[in-house]
Amino acid sequence: MTRKSGGRPGARGGGRDGARPGGRDLSVVVRSARGRKTSSTRWLQRQLNDPYVAEAKRRGFRSRAAFKLLQLDERFRLLRPGLQVVDLGCAPGGWTQVAAAAVRPGGSVVGLDLLPCEPVDGATLLDLDFLDPGAPDRLAGILRGPADLVLSDMAAPATGHAGTDHLRIMALAEAAHDFARTVLSPGGGFVCKLFQGGAERGLLDAVKRDFRTVRHAKPEASRSDSAETYLVATGFRGGA
């Protein structure tokens, strides 16, 4: 499992308000240092000039990815007090922070990951592979029943080969969908990251069979040069 872009560990999150950061007037130019790859220099410059990175640091979010969930929630109203939420591949915890703040009071959030993740206020974190056959039962014990929403911002580590990377993230998305089907309550929701690339049809057909409403969305916080998009499915037809 892998994972969302990293950020500052150990911070506490905010709620759904302010899903868009303010503008910045200054930009930072990074010169390539001896021994530093050009790609690393470009990444560093992009990070330093990214308003979402700066705003995530200011608000105590562990990654800029927190704004993607805030914006998806702003559009689709996915989170509300009292919900039971599962965050797959939760490290470093940005989505978990947003969800934990939004489901108070009365809700609960469980994050699963094989990577270490610092505690998040209001959430239970498990050092657990969601593909483990025992994961759904362990989760049900913590949530005291089925989940209302399953989130997945997972992405396989990039290989640099677009076709391979697309197939790997699709495999993760399909596994996340299978997991969601085993733990969701009737009417529940499922959100997962995809990369556009032409092999989504099988997953999309399966999700449409399981959910009443299926939509695609690209949050403003997703970088314009990224092929990532999000599948937002609501109204689960089954029931764990």
Residue 151, classed as helix, strand or coil, is strand
- What is the rounded distance in angstroms from the CA atom of residue 136 to the CA atom of residue 195? 26
SS3 content of the chain, % helix, strand, coil (to 5): 35, 20, 45
User: Does the annotation mark 193 as catalytic?
Assistant: yes
Give the whole-angstrom CA distance, residue 43 versus residue 65.
16
DSSP conformation letters of 161-199: -HHHHHHHHHHHHHHHHHHHHHHEEEEEEEEEEEE-SS-
Measured between alpha carbons, how far is residue 18 from residues 60, 136, 183 in Å? 13, 34, 31
Please check whether residue 200 is in contact with residue 226, taking contact to mean a CB–CB distance below 8 angstroms: no
Q: Which of 68, 193, 208, 218 is catalytic?
A: 193
Pairing mode of beta strands 228-236, 184-195: antiparallel
Residues with active-site annotation:
193
